Amino acid sequence: TEIDWKAYMEEVEGFANGTLDYTQLKGDTGPLVYPAGFVYIFLGLYYATGRGTDIRLAQYLFAGLYLLNLLLVFRIYCRTNKVPPYVFFFMCCASYRIHSIFVLRLFNDPVAMAILFLAINLFLEERWSWGCLLFSLAVSVKMNILLFAPGLLFLLLQRFGLLGCIPKLCICALLQVVLGLPFLLVNPVGYLTRSFDLGRQFQFKWTVNWRFLPEEVFQNRAFHAMLLLAHLAGLGLFALHRWHRSKESILTLLKDPAERKHASPPLTIVFVLFSSNFLGICCSRSLHYQFYVWYFHTLPYLLWCTPTTKLAHMPKVLLLGVIELCWNTYPSTVCSSLSLHICHGLVLLQLWYGTAPPPAPHTPPLSRRPAAISKKAQ
Domain spans of the chain, in order of start: 1-194+208-354
- Contact at 8 Å (CB) between 250 and 157? no
Q: What is the DSSP letter of 355?
A: T
Give the burial class of 331: count Cβ atoms within 10 A of its Cβ; 0-12 exposed, 13-18 middle, 19 or more buried: exposed
Distance CA 367, CA 225 (A): 58
Query: Can you give the pLDDT at residue 258?
Result: 79
Query: Can you give the pLDDT at residue 23?
Result: 92
**Residue 145 neighbours by CB under 8 Å, 6+ apart:** 112, 113, 116, 135, 138, 139
| Distance from the first to the final alpha carbon of the chain | 80
Distance CA 344, CA 196 (A): 27
Q: How big is the CA angle at 148 (ends 215 and 281), to the nearest 5 degrees?
A: 25
Give every residue of the chain whose pLDDT is below 70, as ranges: 1, 262-267, 310-311, 357-378
Q: What is the DSSP letter of 31?
A: E
Write out the H or E segment, with its range, that includes residue 27.
strand 26-27
Distance CA 150, CA 228 (A): 14
Measured in residues, the chain has a length of 378
Query: Can you give the pLDDT at residue 351?
Result: 93
Query: Can you give the pLDDT at residue 250?
Result: 85
Query: Can you give the pLDDT at residue 302?
Result: 95
Query: Can you give the pLDDT at residue 256?
Result: 82
